[in-house]
Amino acid sequence: MVVFFRRTRRLRLGVVLLCAFLVCEIAFLGPSRPSKSPDASSTRVVSKTVEMSDISTARVESQIEEHVSIPEILNRYGLPALVFHFVVWITTLTACYLVLSLNTALLQMLPEEIQQRVSAGSTLGYAAAALAAAEILGPVRLALTVAAAPTASRVARQYEWFCRMEEAIVGFIQDFATKVSQVFAKA
C-alpha cells in the first residue's frame, strides 16, 4: 500500500513537471506561420523578417536594461505573465525539493547551521531548504518571465474566451482591492 502512494505521489509530481515544461515550451513558441515555397517574394520576406528581428532584439535588450518589476510586467502583459511566473515558481520549488530529497549528498555541501536546521530526512526541512533555493533563484525566474511574458500574452490573447476570462478576473481583483482599501481608509 505504501508503494502505491509513493508511486501516485511521484506520478502526480511527474505530471506537474510535464505540464510546467509544456507551458514553458508553448510560451517561447510564436504563432505558427504557413510555409511558402522559396521564390523572389519569400526572400524579400525573409530579409524583412531578419531586419525586424534585429529591431525587436534591440528593443528587448533596451527593455531588459531598464529596471523591470513584477507589477510593471503584470500591467503590460496581464494574467498570462502572472500565470507563467507562478508556473515557473512552482516548477523551481518542485525541482529544488526533488533534488534535495533524492540527493542527500547535496546537503553535505551546505553550511553546518543549515544542515542542522534541515535535519536530514525531515520533510519540512527539505521543504524549507527548497523554498530558500527557489527564492535565491528569483532573479533568474524574473528574467525568464520578462523574456517569455510578451509571447505568452500574445498567444493567450488570441483566444476570445481567454480575453473574457482575463477581464472578469482583473475586474474582480480591482473591485476587491477597492473595497479593501475603503475598509482600511474608514478604520
Residues 93 and 172 in one domain: no
Cα separation, 187 vs 184, in Å, equals 5
Q: Residue 55's CB: how many other CB atoms inside 10 A? A: 10
| Domain membership flag for residue 43 | no
Residues 140 and 93 in one domain: yes
10 pLDDT band (50/70/90 cuts)?
low
Residues 128 and 181 in one domain: no
- pLDDT digits over 133-160, tens only? 889 988 888 888 888 888 989 999 999 9
- pLDDT digits over 158-184, tens only? 999 999 998 998 889 888 988 988 988
- pLDDT digits over 22-59, tens only? 555 555 444 444 444 444 444 444 444 444 444 555 56
| Domain membership flag for residue 41 | no
Residues 65 and 103 in one domain: yes
103 vs 185 pLDDT, higher one: 185
Helices (H), 33-137: 40-65, 70-77, 79-102, 112-118, 123-136
Tell me 121's DSSP state.
T
Q: Residue 105's CB: how many other CB atoms inside 10 A? A: 6
Range of the domain at 165: 161-187
User: For a pLDDT cut of 90, what percent of the chain falls above it?
Assistant: 11
Q: How far from 95 is each of 11, 29, 99, 126, 131, CA to CA, in Å? A: 14, 23, 6, 12, 10
Of 39, 34, 130, 60, the C-alpha closest to 90 is 130
Residues 96 and 75 in one domain: yes
Q: How many domains would you assign to the chain?
A: 2
Local structure of 122: helix, strand or coil: coil
Residues 179 and 111 in one domain: no
Residues 13 and 60 in one domain: yes
| Domain membership flag for residue 112 | yes
Cα separation, 169 vs 78, in Å, equals 10
| Domain membership flag for residue 124 | yes
Residues 98 and 176 in one domain: no
